[in-house]
Amino acid sequence: MNQEITRILKALEGNINGKPWFGNNLFQQLDGIDSNLATIVPEKLNHSIAEIIHHMMAWRKFVIEKLIGNEAYEVWETDLDWVKIPSHNESEWQNLLAALVENQELLMQTISDKAEELLETKVESRNYNFRLMLNGIIQHDIYHIGQISIVRKLVL
């Protein structure tokens, strides 16, 4: 596996389960969050923790679909982008967390199967290449982990 793909994988893993440079990873931020806390939308904010996780997974799925060549797959301005979750029972919350783990595993596997040449390849129907998209999903994760950190402080 090439060095840049390895760096991308390490960053993605760090954000979710590892030791990212910025502080707590996603699962550390989710520690102690139950189904009730996960669906609270704090006053003056737009989204709950569960909604943010759904959003993160939707965009990670977008990356996966583009990596496997699905030109038609879209998230932007669709019902997949931001899903309203008025409530969750504990089973649904645990299912969401399990889906997040599956999403992470699939993203990591899909990227690790690619050759370095892919990074310079333009993403179909976009004005950017796979390098920019993969670095973008890393940044997207970091942004929303920070957002979850803020919501967490407000609901605990």
Place of tokens 């009730």: 36
Tell me: pLDDT of 122 over 70: yes
Q: What is the pLDDT of residue 125?
A: 87
**1 confidence band (pLDDT: 50, 70, 90):** low
**107 confidence band (pLDDT: 50, 70, 90):** very high
Interatomic CA distance for residues 41 and 47, integer angstroms: 5
Residue-wise pLDDT tens digits, 23-69: 999 999 999 999 999 999 999 999 999 999 999 999 999 999 999 99
Q: Which residues pair with 129 in a beta bridge?
A: 122
What's the mean per-residue pLDDT of the chain?
Answer: 95
* pTM across the whole model: 0.94
Interatomic CA distance for residues 15 and 47, integer angstroms: 20
Beta-carbon contacts of residue 85 (< 8 Å; ≥ 6 apart):
39, 48, 50, 51, 54
Average pLDDT over residues 91-106: 97
